[in-house]
Structure 1
Amino acid sequence: MSIYVAHRLFAAHDRALAAALAERLAKKVGSERVFLPFCDTDEEELVAEVKGRRLFELDRERLGRLDAMIAILHGPSLDDGVCMEIGYAAAIGVPVLLFTTDFQTYSLTKNGAPLDFPDPLIQAVARHTIRIPHLGPPSSSPQKGATHYAAFGARNLSQIDTALDTAVDAVLELPSPCPQPTPRRRDGLVYVEGSPYAAWGHDRLARLCLGAGHRLALPRRFAVADPIAEAIGDFTTACDAPRFLADVSGPETPPGTALLIGAALASGVRIAAFHPRPTYTHASGREPNQRNLMIQYAVHAYLADLEAVRAWLTL
C-alpha cells in the first residue's frame, strides 16, 4: 500500500505533525510505502535548475501511483497545495482520507447544512473524514509543580495522539483505488470558478466566455440545500469541460478552486488562472512562485487582465 501524506509544509509545527503521522504509518506498512512531501523530496537540500518545478514534478509523479492519500487540514484557510493534491488524487480514483482536529464546523448560509470544511467540495470527494475536535481529558495525576499552561499543552498533545492513531487505523481500511471513467469532453464548454475574495464574482469571466462563443458552466454548490451533492456535480463538470477558467484572486487560491485545479490537471483539461494582482512566495534556492508551487505548475496559463482572458478563449 502506497500512502501520500498531504500537509501544509511552511512551518515547523505543520511538518512535525505530518512527520508524526508518517512515522506511525511507516510502522504499519513500511517507510518505503509512505510519501511525505518536503521530507521525501529532500526540499531543503534539493538542487535543481528550477527547484519549484522539480518539486512539483516529484510530487505529481508520486501522486500518479498511489493506493491512498491522507490529507491534514485545519482551520478555515486551507492550504491550496494540499487541496490541489486532494483533487488530483480524487480525479484518478485514489481514495482520500481527511484528518482534522478543528473544533469549528462551517456553513454556506447562517442556518445552512453544517460542513466539516469551508467548501463542500473538500468533504464531497473524500472517502472518510477523521475529526477529533476536543481536547484530551485532564490528567488525573498532574505533574508536581506544573502550571496550568503545561496541563493545557498536555491535553492538546493527547488530542493529537488520539487523532493520529484514529487516522492511521482508518487509512489502512480504505478501499483500493478505483479507476475513474474517461472524461466526457463537452465541446465548447468552459467551467468558470469565481473567487469569493473578488467583488465581481464570476460575472466578468462568464460574460467573456459567452462573448467568445463558448458554452458556460458555473458552480452550483454555493446556493443549494444539499451542497455536498451539488459539489460532486461541479467536480464532474470541471473534469469533463475542455477548459477550466479559475479566478484565483485573494490571499490564497480558494480551497475548492484549488481542488478543481488538481482534478482538471489529472483529467487533461486546459487550465487558466485569472490573477490580476499576483503575489509571490520566495524560498531559499527556489524561483519565485505565485503563492503555491503546486498551483503555479498545475495551471497552464496565468492571465493578468481581461484582454489576456479574451486571447486565451480564442486559442
Structure 2
Amino acid sequence: MLTPRPTVYLASPYGFSAHWRTRLLPDFIEALESLGLEVWEPFARNGQVDLAQEGWAWTVAQADLQDVRDADAFLAIVNGTPPDEGVMLELGAAIALGKPTFLFRDDFRRCSDSEDYPLNLMVFSGLPRTGWPDYLYGSIAELADPSKALMRWLQSRQP
C-alpha cells in the first residue's frame, strides 16, 4: 500500500497576479513536489469560487483556514516590507496549531527592529530559539538542502 505524500500548505501572495501565478508559483510548486510533497496552494485549491456570489470571501477564508489545519506542514513566502497580511494570518494560525513551519524570503530588505531577525519577531515565534535559520530559505534551490529543516522534517517522516 502506498503511503500518502506529506502535505504542505504554501502561503503566498503570488496568486493575486496573473503574471506571478504563472511565473513564480510554478517554481515553488515544482520544487516542493520534487521533494515528495503534495503542495496545497490556496489559489489553485479554492480559486473556483464565484466572486459574484454573496459571501464568497468568507467561504474562501474558511476553506484556506481548513487547509492550514489539515496540512502536515506550512511554508510561508514572506517577501515584502511588511509581508502580505493574509500570509501572516495563515502563518499565525499554523503556529497556533503547532504545524512544522518554514519560511521563504529572498527579499534583501529588512523589516524588523531586531538585529536577530529580518522580519517582525513574531514571524519567528513558531521556529526554535536556536537553529531558526535552518527554517528560513533564501532560494528555491535551498528548499532541497538536506542540512536544513524542511528536508530533516521530511526524512523524519520516512517509515
- So what's the TM-score if we normalise by structure 1? 0.40
1:122 corresponding residue in structure 2:
123
Superposed CA offset, 1:24-62 (max 9, x none): 2123325xx210011122x2x423542111111211111
The answer to whether the 8 Å contact 1:3/1:70 transfers is yes
2:30 corresponding residue in structure 1? 23
Structure 2 CA distance for aligned equivalents of residues 77 and 107 of structure 1: 9
Kept after mapping to 1: 8 A contact 2:95/2:125: no
Query: 2: CA distance between counterparts of 1:17 and 1:49?
Result: 30
- CA 1:106–1:64 in 2, change beyond 3 Å: closer, same or farther? closer
* Deviating 4+ runs (over 6 angstroms): none
Q: Per the alignment, in what secondary structure is the counterpart of residue 44 of structure 2? A: coil
Aligned length: 138
Give 1:72's aligned residue. 77
Within the candidate set 146, 157, 167, 2:143 is matched to 167
What amino acid is aligned across from residue 123 of structure 1 in structure 2? F
Change (3 A) 1:78 1:106: closer
Aligned mates of 2:9, 2:76 — CA distance in 1: 8
For residue 100 of structure 1, report the CA deviation from its aligned partner. 0.9
Shift of 1:2: 1.0
Alignment of 1:50-199 (within 5 A): 50-108=55-113, 113-117=115-119, 119-126=120-127, 128-131=135-138, 163-169=139-145, 170=148, 171-174=150-153
Deviation at 1:166, TM superposition (A): 1.0
Alpha-carbon contact 2:98-2:126 (below 8 Å) kept? no
Shift of 1:130: 1.2
The structural deviation recorded for 1:74 is 1.1
| In structure 2, C-alpha distance between the alignment counterparts of 1:120 and 1:25, rounded to whole Å | 26
CA deviation vs aligned residue, 1:164-194 (integer Å, no higher than 9, x gap): 12124442323779xxxxxxxxxxxxxxxxx
Gaps of 5+ in 2: 1-5, 129-134
Superposed counterparts of 1:3-22, under 5 Å: 3-8=8-13, 9-15=15-21, 16-22=23-29
% same residue: 25
Residue 174 of structure 1: SS of its match in structure 2?
Answer: helix
- Superposition RMSD in Å: 2.4
Q: Distance in 2 between matches of 1:120 and 1:167?
A: 22
Greater RCO, CA 8 A, separation 6+: 2
More helix by share: 2
CA distance in 2, matches of 1:125, 1:103: 22
Deviation, 1:105, is 2.8
Q: CA deviation at 1:18?
A: 2.5
For residues 195-274 of structure 1, the aligned pairs below 5 Å read none
What SS does structure 2 have at the residue aligned with 1:58? Answer: helix
Aligned amino acid, residue 75 of structure 1:
G
- Alignment TM-score, normalising by the size of structure 2: 0.74
Contact 1:116 1:123 survives alignment (8 Å) = no
